[in-house]
């Protein structure tokens, strides 16, 4: 076993092509995609960077929330009248159609939107498995390629990134960005 | 060949007519570092005037809003101008007004995002903030107008010791649910695109600000997974919040339309109110943008005549749509021949408060129609400020016509009444204007008012492409 | 749900031919139901609280003008517009008595019901009742005194209905026609107001409601009012 060190290569914002190229070269050096992570100040799609697709469960969590909201609305509309039946005008007590449709819609949407946010929140604060590390220059538009590779390849990494005009930094992992 | 010459000729004239693309924000890119610096300075620069305004508005909130409201709670509703048969007055008018204002953010941010209207980029946040604070101000009114506000929780559906659930058939319960949904989702929708900007602010601040941004930025680094998740969530929100927005103002309209009140019971009230809300909301965005542009440092880089131009066109379209719906409601009510409805329509135009009705027509139709067709006017921010302010006065007059002026002249002339807002009501209304402005003012120094990453993304996506002899603006889809 | 289902449908007939506009009903109602006196200024302003009020209308062309009177109270609609709009079930339908109830303790004062009542029969308490000594001794113990911020309206003197039924059941006999009368009916000197059980075809109120002069206020709105008016011919007016 060899120790892995996290490296960070910082590219200037106009050097996006170099950043994409560096990922190809890292792959040639034997660094796997799961050991690479790109952080940037604006979103670049995976295709631009030639990276495997990210995944997220936000959509699924959102739909689950919508279902919960829908069920809650059914309980409100069709359940609560049984607890304490009260008649208003000549509206049906136990089968409140069409008035219940409004409540159903609102609560379904509420469930969808709130749980989408909860999904984002939970996924954001849960641990990520790629190489960690951060540099404030990223929010200045720099593109940082984070990767961890065997210490033996250190020299090769340095030459690769010098060719592409990036600065290579080490030991960027310790920073704690949230709580 | 001939066709091509014609095409190029057209492009050339177009170039002569239109401004240099460099005058547009998207074609005047600056390095991200520079953009960040400008936004941070915008956020941290406070002048003496700012603090005077902040203190003045804060006092206004305490005295005009909470003072008057407390007084009204302790004495009872007799301090208002309400009397039989007019049980809803200027509180409900202002409630509808604020809910209308709150449609701006969603419209600008969600609908324009869905349709990829690029001019939205620099001011989505300013508009979303209006939504949140407009709702905060508006959501107070259902409480303020209650006779017994101390038991307002009777309206909230939860298992309780009273063994009684709320009446889900009541439009007021729908209102409660819709406004809660909209307030929560629009706050989240404001927050989600803010996270990368908060991370930017986190990297550039120290001390207590740094700690606050650190917590709010949720450890944002900008990894691919984070961006992907964020964009996915924004996408879900942009699509889902549009029907919520429509439902909110529709339900506000239904508060009136489900009733048996002559002049309220109209099937077109839902869309009519939505169009009115968007008209007043987009107008209020322009009003706010003008104020932001003239008070915030560097804002004139981000907000340019092109934005006022684009919003001006939207306002003109919505003003016409509003007129269409208004006429639909008016003509068919009049034609239907129901005596009470006809009487109300006649009294709107000839009664003692007819000036409100004419004010509505002048401000909502005459003013925008006579001015906004002109490109020069649309591109003059201070003129747009005045026009949009006028439109919102008109929209307030519209709601005033609909609420107390219609209630006062129902089916039995014996029960007619006239409503005049009393000092306490006016004070509370002014108080919520203070509240809105105060919250906006303070927040403008707490969060980045321009979504920097969205602006930069736009600037990266926009290029000038040479077609023939002309350089034509093009947009690349990055996602 | 009501435990006992009694097929009583209370109804009121107002004979406009007999009404003299004396306002005795208004006074009797106010005393019976602890209706607050809001004072001269508030009445002039349009905040007088009356569960029943007498509409005075002018009939005929000048110079042959005569006043006509129309006492209006809550019409106890079968399909009341005020009920479904209330968020807290403060305005509900009583299955037992087939009248509208206003449950003061549930009311949060949205005043939506009042806007939606085409008869303007609902009253709002703009302030706490001011009952000077010794008037507080006159308060009816069977009726709640309403605080500020709640709606109130005519109940057909539901406390008298319940009281009458209790007396009848204590004496082990059915309720007789005319045994229960709301305060306004009891006070009416000319017999213009008649109260009774509409489900009993032989009751006086059912008979009178068949009169060819009968009409209902704003029947076209579909509110199914329980109050029947008998059109006045103008003979007794003024």
Residue pair C80/C100 in contact by the 8 Å Cβ criterion? yes
Residue B149 C-alpha, separation from nearest chain C C-alpha, in angstroms: 7
Confidence (pLDDT) at A172: 66
Q: In whole numbers, what is the pLDDT of chain A averaged over residues? A: 85
Confidence (pLDDT) at A138: 86
* Mean pLDDT, residues C210-224: 89
Q: Identify from A76, A82, A84, A90 which residue to disrupt to test chain C contact, counting C C-beta atoms within 10 A and taking the largest count.
A: A90
**3-class state of residue B465 by DSSP:** strand
* Mean pLDDT, residues C78-99: 91
- pLDDT exceeding 90 applies to what percent of chain C? 59
Confidence (pLDDT) at A4: 65
Q: Residue C133 falls within a domain, yes or no?
A: yes
Whether the CA torsion B184, B185, B188, B190 is positive or negative: it is negative
Query: Any CB–CB contact under 8 A between A102 and chain C?
Result: no
Residue C49 C-alpha, separation from nearest chain A C-alpha, in angstroms: 24
> Which residues form the domain of B82?
43-475
Helix (H) or strand (E) holding A149: strand A143-150
Interface contact A87-C79, CB threshold 8 A: no
- From chain C, which residues contact A within 8 Å (Cβ)? 1, 77-81, 83-84, 86, 89, 91-93, 95, 224
Q: Where are the domains of chain A?
A: 4-53+131-170, 58-125
Per-residue pLDDT of B34-50, as tens digits, reads: 999 999 999 988 899 99
Residue C84 C-alpha, separation from nearest chain B C-alpha, in angstroms: 6
Q: Answer with the residue of higher pLDDT: B148 or C233.
A: B148
* Mean pLDDT, residues B422-436: 96
User: CB A155: neighbour CB atoms within 10 A?
Assistant: 8
**3-class state of residue A40 by DSSP:** coil
Place of tokens 């000549």: A90
Query: Any CB–CB contact under 8 A between B74 and chain C?
Result: no
Chains touching B (3+ CB pairs < 8 Å): A, C
Residue C67 C-alpha, separation from nearest chain B C-alpha, in angstroms: 13
The lowest-confidence range among A3-7, A147-151, B102-106, B304-308 is A3-7
Beta bridge partners of B471: B466
Confidence (pLDDT) at B222: 87
Query: Any CB–CB contact under 8 A between C55 and chain B?
Result: yes
HSE, side-chain direction, 13 A CA sphere, residue B22: 1
The total domain count for chain C is 1
Query: Any CB–CB contact under 8 A between A85 and chain C?
Result: yes
Residue B417 C-alpha, separation from nearest chain C C-alpha, in angstroms: 8
Confidence (pLDDT) at B84: 87
Query: Any CB–CB contact under 8 A between A49 and chain B?
Result: yes
* Mean pLDDT, residues B169-198: 94
Enumerate residues 6+ apart whose C-beta is below 8 A from B280.
B97, B100, B101, B103, B391, B392, B395
Asked if the model's pLDDT at residue C237 lies above 50, the reply is no
Confidence (pLDDT) at B17: 54
Residues of chain A contacting residue C83, judged by C-beta atoms under 8 Å apart: 87-89
Q: Answer with the residue of higher pLDDT: B392 or A159.
A: B392
Closest chain C residue to A82 measured between Cα atoms? C1
Closest chain A residue to B159 measured between Cα atoms? A80
The lowest-confidence range among B17-31, B69-83, B334-348 is B17-31
Interface contact B225-A13, CB threshold 8 A: no
Residue C5 — pLDDT band, cuts 50, 70, 90? very low
- pLDDT exceeding 70 applies to what percent of chain B? 96
Residue B33: name the closest of A25, C2, A12, A177 by CA: A12
Q: Give counts: helices (H), strands (E), chain B.
A: 23, 2
Residue pair B64/B428 in contact by the 8 Å Cβ criterion? yes
Q: What is the CATH number of the domain that holds B85?
A: 1.20.1630.10
Residue B89 C-alpha, separation from nearest chain C C-alpha, in angstroms: 11
Interface contact C126-B76, CB threshold 8 A: yes
Q: Please provide residue A46's backbone torsions phi and psi, each rounded to the nearest 5 degrees.
A: -60, -35
Residues of chain B contacting residue A81, judged by C-beta atoms under 8 Å apart: 165
Query: Any CB–CB contact under 8 A between B152 and chain C?
Result: yes
The total domain count for chain B is 1
Enumerate residues 6+ apart whose C-beta is below 8 A from C62.
none
Q: Answer with the residue of higher pLDDT: C57 or B169.
A: B169
Q: Residue B368 falls within a domain, yes or no?
A: yes
* Mean pLDDT, residues C143-155: 93
HEC string for B161-208:
CCCCCCCCCCHHHHHHHHHHHHHHHHHHHHHHHHHHHHHHHHHCCCHH
Query: Any CB–CB contact under 8 A between C78 and chain B?
Result: no
* Mean pLDDT, residues B342-368: 94
Helix (H) or strand (E) holding B101: helix B90-101
Q: Answer with the residue of higher pLDDT: C9 or B172.
A: B172
Interface contact C116-B260, CB threshold 8 A: yes
The lowest-confidence range among A128-142, B153-167, B282-296, C52-66 is A128-142
- Smallest Cβ–Cβ distance between B78 and the set C84, C112, C127 belongs to C127
Q: Cα(B211)–Cα(A136) distance, rounded to whole angstroms? A: 15
Per-residue pLDDT of B286-306, as tens digits, reads: 999 999 999 998 999 999 999
Q: Please provide residue A149's backbone torsions phi and psi, each rounded to the nearest 5 degrees.
A: -140, 165
- Smallest Cβ–Cβ distance between C92 and the set A86, A90, A99 belongs to A86
Q: Cα(B413)–Cα(B314) distance, rounded to whole angstroms? A: 42
> Please, which residues 405-424 of chain B have a Cβ atom closer than 8 Å to chain C?
407, 410-412, 414-415, 417
Q: Is B9 exposed, middle or buried (0-12, 13-18, 19+ CB in 10 A)?
A: exposed
Chains touching C (3+ CB pairs < 8 Å): A, B
Helix (H) or strand (E) holding C73: strand C66-73
Q: Residue B16 falls within a domain, yes or no?
A: no
CATH, range A4-53+131-170: 3.30.70
Q: In whole numbers, what is the pLDDT of chain B averaged over residues? A: 90
Strand runs (DSSP E) across B334-467, as ranges?
Answer: 462-467
Q: Please provide residue B469's backbone torsions phi and psi, each rounded to the nearest 5 degrees.
A: -105, 5
Query: Any CB–CB contact under 8 A between C120 and chain B?
Result: yes
Query: Any CB–CB contact under 8 A between C86 and chain B?
Result: yes
Q: Answer with the residue of higher pLDDT: B19 or B13.
A: B19
Residue pair A91/A77 in contact by the 8 Å Cβ criterion? no
Residues of chain A contacting residue C86, judged by C-beta atoms under 8 Å apart: 88
Q: Cα(C86)–Cα(B108) distance, rounded to whole angstroms? A: 35
Q: Cα(B365)–Cα(B326) distance, rounded to whole angstroms? A: 11
Q: Residue B14 falls within a domain, yes or no?
A: no
Q: Cα(A62)–Cα(C7) distance, rounded to whole angstroms? A: 51
Beta bridge partners of C54: C71
Asked if the model's pLDDT at residue B385 lies above 80, the reply is yes
Residue B89: name the closest of B415, B456, B400 by CA: B400
Interface contact C91-A88, CB threshold 8 A: yes
Confidence (pLDDT) at A93: 85
* Span between the terminal Cα atoms of chain B, in Å: 37
Q: Residue B18 falls within a domain, yes or no?
A: no
The lowest-confidence range among A48-52, B137-141, B153-157, B425-429 is A48-52
* Mean pLDDT, residues B153-162: 91
Residue pair C78/A90 in contact by the 8 Å Cβ criterion? yes
Q: What is the CATH number of the domain that holds C15?
A: 3.30.70.20
The whole-model pTM stands at 0.93
> Which residues form the domain of C221?
10-230
**How big is the A-B interface in CB pairs under 8 Å?**
187
Query: Any CB–CB contact under 8 A between A116 and chain B?
Result: yes
* Mean pLDDT, residues B277-287: 95
Residue C236 — pLDDT band, cuts 50, 70, 90? very low
Interface contact C93-A88, CB threshold 8 A: yes
Q: Cα(C83)–Cα(C86) distance, rounded to whole angstroms? A: 6
């Amino acid at each position: 076993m060899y120790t892995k060190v996290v490296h960070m290569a910082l590219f200037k914002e106009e050097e996006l092509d170099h950043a994409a190229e560096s990922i190809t070269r890292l792959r040639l050096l034997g660094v796997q995609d799961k050991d690479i992570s790109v952080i940037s100040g604006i979103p670049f799609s995976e295709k631009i960077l030639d990276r495997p697709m990210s995944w997220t469960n936000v959509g699924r969590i959102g739909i689950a929330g919508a279902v919960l909201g829908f069920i809650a609305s059914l309980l409100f509309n069709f359940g609560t009248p049984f607890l304490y039946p009260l008649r208003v005008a000549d509206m049906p007590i136990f089968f409140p159609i069409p008035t219940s449709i409004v409540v159903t819609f609102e609560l379904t949407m509420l469930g969808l939107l709130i749980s989408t946010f909860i999904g984002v929140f939970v996924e954001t604060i849960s641990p990520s498995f790629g190489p960690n590390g951060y540099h404030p220059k990223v929010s200045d538009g720099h593109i940082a390629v984070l990767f961890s590779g065997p210490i033996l390849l250190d020299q090769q990494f340095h030459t690769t990134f010098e060719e592409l005009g990036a600065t290579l930094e080490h030991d960027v992992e310790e920073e704690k960005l949230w709580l | 060949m001939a066709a091509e010459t014609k095409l190029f000729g057209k492009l050339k004239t177009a170039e002569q007519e239109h401004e240099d693309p460099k005058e547009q924000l998207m074609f005047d890119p600056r390095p991200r570092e520079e953009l960040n610096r400008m936004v941070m300075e915008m956020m941290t620069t406070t002048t003496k005037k700012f603090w005077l305004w902040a203190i003045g508005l804060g006092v206004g909130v305490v005295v005009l809003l909470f003072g008057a409201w407390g007084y009204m709670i302790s004495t009872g509703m007799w301090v208002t101008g309400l009397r039989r048969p007019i049980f809803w007055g200027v509180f409900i008018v202002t409630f509808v007004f604020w809910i209308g204002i709150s449609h701006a953010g969603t419209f600008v941010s969600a609908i324009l995002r869905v349709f990829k209207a690029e001019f939205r980029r620099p001011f989505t946040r300013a508009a979303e903030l209006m939504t949140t604070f407009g709702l905060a101000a508006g959501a107070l009114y259902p409480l303020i107008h209650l006779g017994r506000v101390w038991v307002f929780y009777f309206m909230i559906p939860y298992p309780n010791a009273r063994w009684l659930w709320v009446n889900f058939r009541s439009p007021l319960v729908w209102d409660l649910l819709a406004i809660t949904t909209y307030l929560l989702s629009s706050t989240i929708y404001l927050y989600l695109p803010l996270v990368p900007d908060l991370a930017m602010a986190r990297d550039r601040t120290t001390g207590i600000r740094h700690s606050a941004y650190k917590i709010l930025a949720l450890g944002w680094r900008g990894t691919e997974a984070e961006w992907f998740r964020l964009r996915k969530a924004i996408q879900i929100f942009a699509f889902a919040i549009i029907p919520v927005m429509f439902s909110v103002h529709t339900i506000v309209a239904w508060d009136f339309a489900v009733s048996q009140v002559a002049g309220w019971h109209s099937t077109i009230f839902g869309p009519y109110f939505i169009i009115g809300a968007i008209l007043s909301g987009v107008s209020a965005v322009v009003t706010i943008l003008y104020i932001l542009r003239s008070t915030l440092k560097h804002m004139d880089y981000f907000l340019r005549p092109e934005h006022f131009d684009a919003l001006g066109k939207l306002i003109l379209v919505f003003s016409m749509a509003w007129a269409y719906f208004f006429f639909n409601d008016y003509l068919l009510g009049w034609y239907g021949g129901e005596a009470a409805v006809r009487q109300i329509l006649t009294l709107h135009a000839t009664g003692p408060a007819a000036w409100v009705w004419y004010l509505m027509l002048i401000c909502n139709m005459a003013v925008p129609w006579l001015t906004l067709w002109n490109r020069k006017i649309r591109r003059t921010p201070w003129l747009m400020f005045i026009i949009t302010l006028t439109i919102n006065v008109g929209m307030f007059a519209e709601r005033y016509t609909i609420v107390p002026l219609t209630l006062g002249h129902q089916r039995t002339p014996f029960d007619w009444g006239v409503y005049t807002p009393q000092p306490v009501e006016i004070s509370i209304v002014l108080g919520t204007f203070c509240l809105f402005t105060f919250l906006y003012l303070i927040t403008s120094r707490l969060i980045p008012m321009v979504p920097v990453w969205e602006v930069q993304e736009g600037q990266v996506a926009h290029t000038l492409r040479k077609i023939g002899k002309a350089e034509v603006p093009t947009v690349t889809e990055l996602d | 749900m009501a435990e006992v289902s009694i097929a009583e449908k209370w109804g009121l007939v107002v004979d406009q031919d007999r009404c003299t506009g004396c306002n005795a009903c208004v006074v009797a109602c106010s005393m019976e139901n602890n209706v607050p006196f809001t004072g001269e200024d508030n009445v002039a302003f349009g905040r007088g609280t009356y569960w029943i009020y007498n509409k005075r209308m002018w009939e005929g062309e000048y110079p042959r003008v005569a006043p006509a009177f129309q006492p209006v109270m809550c019409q106890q609609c079968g399909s009341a517009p005020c009920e479904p709009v209330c968020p807290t079930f403060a305005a509900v339908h009583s299955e037992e008595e087939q009248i509208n109830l206003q449950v003061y303790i549930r009311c949060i004062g949205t005043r939506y019901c009042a806007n939606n009542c085409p008869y303007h029969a609902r009253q709002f308490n703009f302030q706490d009742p001011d009952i000077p000594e010794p008037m507080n001794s006159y308060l009816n113990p069977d009726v709640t005194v309403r605080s500020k911020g709640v709606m109130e309206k005519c109940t057909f003197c539901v406390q008298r209905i319940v009281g009458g039924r209790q007396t009848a059941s204590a004496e082990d006999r059915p309720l007789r026609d005319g045994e229960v009368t709301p305060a306004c009916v009891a006070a009416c000197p000319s017999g213009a107001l008649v109260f009774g059980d509409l489900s009993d075809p032989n009751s006086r109120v059912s008979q009178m409601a068949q009169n060819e002069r009968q009409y209902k206020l704003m029947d076209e709105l579909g509110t199914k009012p329980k109050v029947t008016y008998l059109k006045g011919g103008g003979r007794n007016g003024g």
